[in-house]
Amino acid sequence: MFMQQPSNLKKYIKRTLIIIGMLALIMAGVALYLSQRWSNTLRSQLKEYVTEMSDSLYTLRYDGVHLNILSGSLTLDSVSLVRDTAVYQRLQATRKAPTLLYAFSADRVALRYFKVWRYFFRKEVSAGTLVLQNPSIVLEQNTRNVDTSKHRSAYEHLSSRIRSLHIGTLLLDSSNLKYTYIKKDSGLVVRQLHNLSIHVKDLLIDSVAMEDPSRFLYARNYQLYLRDYRYRTPDSLYWMIVRDVSYDAAERSLRVGQFSAEPRYSPADFDKKVKVQRDRFDVELNTIVVNELQPDSLLQKQQIRARKVDIGSGTFNIYHNRSLPMSGEVKTGQYPHQLLQKLALPVMVDSLIGNRVDISYTEINPKSQEAGTLHFKQVHGVFRNITNMKAMIAKNSHCIADMDGVFMKSGKLQARFDFFLDHPRGGFAVSGQLKDMDGRELTPITRPLGLVDIRSANIKEVSFHMQGDEKDASGEVKMIYDNLRISILKKDNDSREIKRKGLLSLFANAIAINNSNPRDGKLHVAHPHFTRDPRKSFFNLVWKTLFTGVKEIAISGGFPI
C-alpha cells in the first residue's frame, strides 16, 4: 500500500507536467500566431498614424516590425521619418506650412515592457522604455512660412486613433542633431550637435496631461547632456567651445562645465590677420550654473528668463597692439548695455555672479614696442537686472555691477558700474576705491606704456566717481599718497634698450611731481573731464577719465608724462 502511493504521485506529477507543457506549447503557438498577425497589423497602422496626423506631410519608413507579446517588446529596424516635398510645397502655397519641420532616422527603435493587450483592446499605448539606437534628428525652422491653419495639440492629433500614450522612459543616446534656421531674407544659420543624450521621464499624452502643472511638454522631466560643442565665429578668428552641458527640466537648471572663446591665432599672427588695431580675447569660464531657467518662455515666447547665473571661476585675457593702424571703426552704440539692448532675443536675468575670475589687459606701446599688462586677480562680481525687455526696464532701468578684487599684486579694488538701460546715448555711472597699494607694482605698466618707472609711492587710497555717455565722461577723483618718486625713461635707437633720463628725472621729482597728497595741509581733489574717441571702447573712456584725474593730482602744470 505504501509503495502504491509514491507510484500514483509520480503519475500525477507526470500528467501535470504534460498538461503544463501542452498549455505552454499552445500559449507559445498562440503568442507566435498573434505576434505575427499583430506585427502585420502594426506595420500598416504605424504608417497610417503618421500620414494621418501630419496631413500627409510626413511618411514613416522602416525595414521590419518585430512584436513579441510574451516579452512585451516591439522593435522597428532602420526607421526614418521623411517629408513629402510635393505636399510641403502645396501647404506653402495655401499658407498652411508649419514653420518647424522635422526629419528623423535611427538604426533601431525598441519598445520594452509594451502592454500589447492594452493597445489592441483599449487603444492605449503604454510601455516602460522606448530606446532609439543611433538617432539622427534634423530640425528646420523656416521663418518665411506663414501657417494659418488651426493649431492642434499632440493629444488632438492622437485622439482619433489612440486614447492615450504613456512611456516611462524615452532614451536617445549618441544622438546627432542638425538645426537649420531660415531667415526671412533666405539666409541660413546651421548648427550641428553630435553625441547628444536626451532622456525623457514619464511621458504622458492624454486628455488632461497638458493641463498638469507638474509636467512640461507632457513629461515629468527632460534631461539633456552634451559632451562638447565647437563653433567657429564668422570672422574665423575664434573657436567658441562649450563642454559638459547638462539640462534638467524638473530642476529648471542648466550646467556648463566650461565655456571658452579660444583665438585661432597667436597674438603675432592675430595682428597679421586683422592688420589694424583690434582687441584679441582669450576667455575661459568654468562651472557655469543657470538656475530657474524657464523653458516655456524660451520655446513659446522666444525669451531667455532665469533667476541666477553663477560662474565658479575663469580667466579673461585681452591683448591690444597700438602699433598697428587704427581700424577707423566707429564704436558708438557699442557700450555693454547698448549691445544688450540690440540682442534679437529678449533677455531677463535677475543676477549673474562671477567668482574667482582673473582678468588681464595687455597693450603694445608703439614707442617702446614693449607690452604692459594690467592684472586684476580673484575678481568677484555681481550683476543685477540684466535685461533688454521694455516692460522690465520700465520697472527698473538700472543694471548694476558690483565688483571687487586685487589690482596688480596688493591693491584692494572695489568698483560699481551703473548702466542706464533706458538712456538713448548709453548713459552710465562708475564709482570705486583702491586701497593700500605699493606704487612700485605699477612699474610693469608704466615702464612699457608710459616710459616711466615708479621708484617709490605709498598709495593709501584712490577713490573716484564719474558719469558719462557715449560722447564723454566727467567726475571726481581723490588720491591719498606719499613718497612719490619716478624715473623718466627713453628708448635708445641704436641698442633698442630703455634707459633712464637722469637730468629730466631729477627735474621731474624736484619740480613737476607732487610728492604727496594731502600737501600743505590740504587734500587736493581733481574733477576730470574726458571726451571719448569714438573709435575706442567704453573701458578706454573710463580709464582715460580716471587717469586724467590722477595726473591732475600727481603732476604740476603741463609736465609731459
Average pLDDT over residues 445-472: 92
The H or E element that residue 78 is part of is strand 73-83
Average pLDDT over residues 503-511: 81
* Per-residue confidence (pLDDT) for residue 347, from 0 to 100: 95
Average pLDDT over residues 48-75: 85
Percent of the chain exceeding pLDDT 70 equals 91
- Asked whether the predicted pLDDT for residue 451 surpasses 90, the reply is no
* Per-residue confidence (pLDDT) for residue 216, from 0 to 100: 84
What is the grid cell recorded at 4?
502504491
Picking from 233, 263, 262, 260, the residue whose alpha carbon sits closest to that of residue 245 is 260
* Per-residue confidence (pLDDT) for residue 121, from 0 to 100: 84
3-state secondary structure of 63: coil
Is 193:229 a contact under the CB 8 Å cutoff?
yes
What is the per-residue pLDDT across 204-250, written as a single tens digit (0 to 9) for each? 988 888 888 888 888 999 999 999 999 999 899 999 999 999 999 99
Average pLDDT over residues 145-165: 83
Domain positions in the chain = 36-225
User: What is the C-alpha to C-alpha distance for residues 107 and 127, in angstroms, rounded to an integer?
Assistant: 20
- Asked whether the predicted pLDDT for residue 26 surpasses 60, the reply is no
What is the grid cell recorded at 315?
580667466
Q: Which amino acid, one-letter code, is at 356?
A: R
User: What is the C-alpha to C-alpha distance for residues 541 and 372, in angstroms, rounded to an integer?
Assistant: 19
- Asked whether the predicted pLDDT for residue 381 surpasses 60, the reply is yes
What is the per-residue pLDDT across 514-541, written as a single tens digit (0 to 9) for each? 999 998 889 999 999 999 999 888 998 9
Contacts of 13 (CB under 8 A, 6+ apart): none
What is the per-residue pLDDT across 249-267, written as a single tens digit (0 to 9) for each? 999 999 999 999 999 999 9
- Asked whether the predicted pLDDT for residue 427 surpasses 90, the reply is yes
Percent of the chain exceeding pLDDT 90 equals 51
What is the grid cell recorded at 557?
602744470
Q: Residue 493: which region, alpha, beta or left (left: phi > 0; alpha: psi -120 to 50)?
A: alpha
- Asked whether the predicted pLDDT for residue 8 surpasses 90, the reply is no
* Per-residue confidence (pLDDT) for residue 323, from 0 to 100: 92
* Per-residue confidence (pLDDT) for residue 558, from 0 to 100: 55
Is 440:454 a contact under the CB 8 Å cutoff?
yes
Average pLDDT over residues 356-372: 90
User: What is the C-alpha to C-alpha distance for residues 337 and 281, in angstroms, rounded to an integer?
Assistant: 19
pTM, entire model: 0.83
- Between 414 and 119, where is the model more confident? 414
Average pLDDT over residues 46-65: 86
User: What is the C-alpha to C-alpha distance for residues 134 and 131, in angstroms, rounded to an integer?
Assistant: 10
The H or E element that residue 154 is part of is helix 154-158
* Per-residue confidence (pLDDT) for residue 27, from 0 to 100: 45
User: What is the C-alpha to C-alpha distance for residues 256 and 129, in angstroms, rounded to an integer?
Assistant: 28
Per the prediction, the chain carries an average pLDDT of 87
State the alpha helices, DSSP H only, in 264-330.
Answer: 267-274, 295-301
What is the grid cell recorded at 504?
629730466
* Per-residue confidence (pLDDT) for residue 336, from 0 to 100: 94
What is the per-residue pLDDT across 76-104, written as a single tens digit (0 to 9) for each? 899 998 999 999 999 888 988 888 888 98
Strand positions, DSSP E, 234-346: 238-248, 253-263, 280-291, 304-321
User: What is the C-alpha to C-alpha distance for residues 127 and 28, in angstroms, rounded to an integer?
Assistant: 22
| Pick from 41-45, 291-295, 340-344, 380-384: least confident | 41-45
- Asked whether the predicted pLDDT for residue 289 surpasses 90, the reply is yes
Q: What angle do CA 155, 157, 162 make, to 5 degrees?
A: 70
3-state secondary structure of 127: strand
Average pLDDT over residues 352-367: 93
Is residue 345 very low, low, confident or very high in pLDDT (cuts 50, 70, 90)?
confident
What is the per-residue pLDDT across 540-549, written as a single tens digit (0 to 9) for each? 899 889 989 9
- Asked whether the predicted pLDDT for residue 11 surpasses 60, the reply is no
State the alpha helices, DSSP H only, in 175-294.
Answer: 267-274
- Asked whether the predicted pLDDT for residue 492 surpasses 90, the reply is no
- Asked whether the predicted pLDDT for residue 19 surpasses 50, the reply is no
User: What is the C-alpha to C-alpha distance for residues 420 and 47, in angstroms, rounded to an integer?
Assistant: 58
User: What is the C-alpha to C-alpha distance for residues 99 and 139, in angstroms, rounded to an integer?
Assistant: 10
Q: What is the full DSSP assignment across 412-461?
A: EEEEEEEEETT-TT--EEEEEEEEEEEGGGGHHHHHHHHSEEEEEEEEEE
What is the grid cell recorded at 288?
557655469
User: What is the C-alpha to C-alpha distance for residues 492 and 486, in angstroms, rounded to an integer?
Assistant: 19
* Per-residue confidence (pLDDT) for residue 28, from 0 to 100: 44
User: What is the C-alpha to C-alpha distance for residues 295 and 289, in angstroms, rounded to an integer?
Assistant: 15
* Phi, psi dihedrals of residue 193, rounded to the nearest 5°: -120, 135
What is the per-residue pLDDT across 161-212, written as a single tens digit (0 to 9) for each? 888 889 999 999 999 999 888 888 877 778 888 999 999 999 998 888 888 8
- Asked whether the predicted pLDDT for residue 270 surpasses 50, the reply is yes
Is 99:136 a contact under the CB 8 Å cutoff?
no
What is the per-residue pLDDT across 127-141, written as a single tens digit (0 to 9) for each? 999 999 999 999 888
- Asked whether the predicted pLDDT for residue 48 surpasses 80, the reply is yes
What is the grid cell recorded at 122?
483599449
